[in-house]
A and B are shown apart, each in its own frame.
Chain A
Amino acid sequence: DIQMTQSPSFLSASVGDRVTINCKASQNINKYLDWYQQKLGEAPKLLIYNTNSLHTAIPSRFSGSGSGTDFTLTISSLQPEDVATYFCFQHNSGWTFGGGTKLELK
């Protein structure tokens, strides 16, 4: 089974900061990596699919990059409404979520 390791587990940043969250796969997953945002008490929401494609109505400050085993979610300028937990998810071989990164405001 493919394991997905996210880092950091917790992240504190200020409004306007550039934020990066990393996700590492235990083996090559090509481009099949998605990112989800889950706000407290809400269902997860798809942000980015297949490494770098922005889902419908997602602000352009969110972007994704990477290939193979190493992937990154970037928020170019952190906004208060971005406080959430972020999960990566691979669907190249089976389906596996990362452990999550909790993003808080400093």
Chain B
Amino acid sequence: EVQLVESGGGLVQPGRSLKLSCVASGFTFSNYGMNWIRQAPGKGLEWVAYISSGSSYIYYAETVKGRFTISRDNAKNTLYLQMTSLRSEDTALYYCARRGVTWFAYWGQGTLVTVSS
């Protein structure tokens, strides 16, 4: 069974940094591209970033480009999102999602990031 477990969320002040993790199990992590997607409270979904299986291809949404960095450690079955220069509009539930038949075939349960002073 595919399992994705996010962690690292919390309350952070504007301008500060935070690093999210997503631990994968139930499949060969190194074979799949991975994504981060976020959902602001009571709002819709926004794709944030993508990394290919071997980290050769990396894409970002314009809203986070230059501030967020996606990375992965295939030996640890873990996906990361390093977030810097955080803003109030980055407040959201952050999901990791695995590629499969399409871009977001399987999702984790999310970790909440709140940016507030």
In the complex, are the beta carbons of B104 and A46 less than 8 A apart?
A: yes
Query: Does A62 sit within 8 A of B, measured CB to CB?
Result: no
- A11-19, A65-73, A90-98 - interface stretch: A90-98
Indicate whether A91 sits within 8 Å of B103 (C-beta atoms), given known contacts A97-B44, A97-B46: yes
Convert A23-41 into 0s and 1s, putting 1 for each residue whose CB lies closer than 8 angstroms to a CB of B.
0000000000010100000
In the complex, are the beta carbons of B44 and A87 less than 8 A apart?
A: yes
Contact among A42, A45, A91, A99 with B102 in the assembled complex (CB-CB below 8 Å): A91
Indicate whether A89 sits within 8 Å of B104 (C-beta atoms), given known contacts A97-B45, A97-B46, A98-B44: yes
Contact among B47, B95, B105 with A43 in the assembled complex (CB-CB below 8 Å): B95
Q: Measuring CB to CB, which residues of chain A are less than 8 angstroms from any residue of chain B? A: 34, 36, 42-46, 49-50, 53, 55, 87, 89, 91, 95-100
